[in-house]
Amino acid sequence: MERPEPIRPFLRWAGSKRQLLPVLSDYSPRRFGRYLEPFLGSGSLFFHLRPARAILGDVNADLMATYEQVRDNLDAVFSELSAMRKGKEEYYRIRSSDTSSLNPAEQAAQFIYLNRFSFNGLYRTNRKGEFNVPYGGAKCAGVPARASLEASSRALQGAELVSGDFEVVLAQARSGDFVYLDPPYSVAVRRVFKEYDPSSFCTRDLQRLRRWLDRLTEVGAEFLLSYAKCEEAELLMEGYAARQVAVRRNIAGFSRDRRRAQEWLISNMKTLGYEEA
């Protein structure tokens, strides 16, 4: 079956799967009911496959509100974004503005602007929930072009957007759906985030995720899960098909710490070698 022309995500995201897209897309089924992605981030695979019907979610409420505005209110978002200038001073002015005084389109434009100009596209907030990533420098690529946001908006038209825990998306899975899961790596997260971070993952979350893999299999949904090669991955892999893929991982957020690492692709798809017990 022919796939639509892939689109590049309009956000930068730590742990983005852009470099693995050729592999992920090869392993994705050619036909499926709906596409579910509960750890969306910049949605690399979603924008690559552009499925007609999708349920997309992330625990980051500002991120999901931004997608909603790009889907439903693109003109207003783009007009706000076009009025924002480039540069360090403007970045810190926008970063310090009180988001509660902004309308949803202004908030989305601010989110996109800060994402595009922040250091390494990182998303991090302080305990008060204020975005606190420093300016990324003049090398940043700038805000997305109108055509890129329009293409993303079109891709999102058939998507239900969920802001919250991954279980809310997975509870909607049914037979024939394809689910792509890219949770944060609990190992890397411990090293990177020393302070409280609602989007970090712990062993208890991994155990919850494992139970959901079994439920997805029971309802007849196909899943593909990306996870780091580490001890914790064994909990997720047991009884499922697993393949190793090589990735360059940006562990500390600094380019000198980019390393080659192995990652797992775990699945209940027969095409990947899964055999029912």
Ligand X SMILES: C[S@@+](CC[C@H](N)C(=O)[O-])C[C@H]1O[C@@H](n2cnc3c(N)ncnc32)[C@H](O)[C@@H]1O
Residue from the set 7, 10, 13, 179 that interacts with ligand X by CB under 6 A: 13
Q: How far is the CB of 184 from ligand X (least distance, A)?
A: 5
Name residues contacting ligand X, limited to 155-194 (CB under 6 A).
165-166, 182-184
Outline where 118-200 has alpha helix (H). Answer: 146-156, 166-170, 186-192
Q: Are strands 54-58 and 178-181 parallel, antiparallel or unpaired?
A: unpaired
Residue 80 in contact with ligand X, rule: CB under 6 A: no
At 163, the amino acid letter reads: S
Residue from the set 42, 69, 118, 268 that interacts with ligand X by CB under 6 A: 42
Q: How far is the CB of 1 from ligand X (least distance, A)?
A: 23
**Cβ closest to ligand X, residue 90 vs residue 205:** 205
CA distance readout (Å), 188 to 184, 251, 256, 277: 8, 7, 16, 32
Residue from the set 24, 28, 34, 38 that interacts with ligand X by CB under 6 A: 38
Residue 39 in contact with ligand X, rule: CB under 6 A: yes
Q: How far is the CB of 19 from ligand X (least distance, A)?
A: 10
Residue nearest to ligand X (CB): 41
Residue from the set 7, 24, 41, 108 that interacts with ligand X by CB under 6 A: 41
CA distance readout (Å), 37 to 26, 98, 107, 143, 185: 17, 31, 23, 25, 16
Q: How far is the CB of 6 from ligand X (least distance, A)?
A: 13
**Cβ closest to ligand X, residue 41 vs residue 136:** 41
DSSP of 201-257, one letter per residue? --HHHHHHHHHHHHHHHHHT-EEEEEEESSTTHHHHHTTSEEEEEEEEEESSSSGGG
Instruction: Give me the helix-helix angle, 88-95 and 104-117, nearest 10°.
Output: 140
Q: How far is the CB of 277 from ligand X (least distance, A)?
A: 28
Closest CA to 42 of 65, 70, 14: 14
Name residues contacting ligand X, limited to 193-212 (CB under 6 A).
199, 201, 205
Q: Are strands 178-181 and 258-267 parallel, antiparallel or unpaired?
A: unpaired
Q: How far is the CB of 208 from ligand X (least distance, A)?
A: 8
Interface with ligand X (CB under 6 A): 13, 15-17, 38-39, 41-42, 44, 57-60, 165-166, 182-184, 199, 201, 205
